Every structure is written in C-alpha cells, then in structure tokens.
Amino acid sequence: MVDLGGPPVQVSHSSGSDCVDLLGRSHSPSFPYYKDWKFDYMSDLRPKICIQTSTSAGLEQTLPWIFYHKVIGVSTFFLFVEGKAASPNVSKVFESIPGVKVI
C-alpha cells in the first residue's frame, strides 16, 4: 500500500516477462513496428561494408587500393571517376571487378 494523501492504492510489481507478453513481443529478434513479420536474420550474419569515393588516379594506384580494402572486408565500391580513371579502358577494368560500380 502507498499513501498518496487519498484512498489507499495497491501497488503491484510485475516481472519483465509480463510486460513482454502484454506488448505482444516474442523472445526472437524482430522489428517492433512489423509485429509477426519473420526476418531471415540467421542467413548471413557477415556485415556488409561499402566505400563510396572519387578518384582520378590510374589503375597502378587504384587496383592495389581496391585489393587492400577487399582483403580487410569491404564488399562494395562505388567509384566516381575523373581524369585518368575516367578513360573508357580504365572504367572497363573497374567494372570487371566484382563489387565495383563506376558512377
């Protein structure tokens, strides 16, 4: 009982699980705004890392840079090319590399 200066009020304590059930949530991960939607969250747990950059460098500088970043886990590159990198032959080489998009 708690005295608030008026009639006695009964205070009850509930466990956290009561709140979870009351709100209709389950113990599996989900986005709360899409109740009962099932997401295949176990399919690919690897993070996806993307780099967006611009370059005017030629292949002799850009290819080792792309290779290094692929080794450390970058999966997608969006390259805005200008200068030497904007030549049709260089752009074709970039576009032939999986995960590289020339914009």
> pLDDT value at position 48?
84
Range of the domain at 89: 41-102
* Residue at 59 is within a domain: yes
* Residue at 54 is within a domain: yes
Parallel, antiparallel, or unpaired for β 74-81 and 49-55?
parallel
Could you report the per-residue pLDDT of 55-103, keeping only the tens digit for each? Answer: 999 999 999 999 999 999 999 999 999 998 999 999 999 999 999 999 9
Average pLDDT, the chain: 77
* Residue at 60 is within a domain: yes
Domains contained in the chain, number: 1
Residues whose CB is less than 8 angstroms from the CB of residue 91 and which lie 6 or more positions away in sequence, other chains included: 81, 85, 102
* Residue at 83 is within a domain: yes
Could you report the per-residue pLDDT of 33-60, keeping only the tens digit for each? Answer: 656 666 666 666 677 899 999 999 999 9
* Residue at 3 is within a domain: no
